[in-house]
Amino acid sequence: MDLNNLNRLIERVIDIQNHKQFYRDFDPLLRESLEECLQEIKLQYGSFLLEKLFDIYDDYFSDNEMRSIEEYLTSDGVEVDGDDFEEPHTRLTIRPYPLRFVVNGITKPFKEIIWTAA
């Protein structure tokens, strides 16, 4: 598996979404590029990421419903409730370099990496 390519794609998605948030006028070419990156992530790495998400949900968030991969790539991530952290109400995101799943507090600032690619 080419983790460097996956990291690059995730970084590109995050950059485009940050641009989208900063500038209200979203360029159609950027939208197309975003859709292409997301499609490539789902096709090439979707099963890998879903497997890792399944394990994470099984370990930490068993009472929560998994969402689509795209939602974990946004800056907001996906809200999840877990009892194993400083704050039960958290956000789960996927971040690049190194590829990792991160839990961030919603009301109290904290950050915990719960999985990192070897």
Write the pLDDT tens digit of every residue in 55-78: 999 999 999 999 999 999 987 899
Confidence grade of residue 25 (pLDDT, cut at 50, 70, 90): low
Q: What percent of the chain has pLDDT over 90?
A: 67
Statement: residue 109 has pLDDT above 90? no
Quick check: 41 and 47 in contact, CB under 8 A?
no
Q: Are 108 and 85 in contact (CB under 8 A)?
A: no
The C-alpha atoms of residue 16 and residue 54 are separated, in whole angstroms, by 27
Element at 72 (helix H, strand E) = helix 69-72
Q: What is the mean pLDDT of residues 25-37?
A: 87
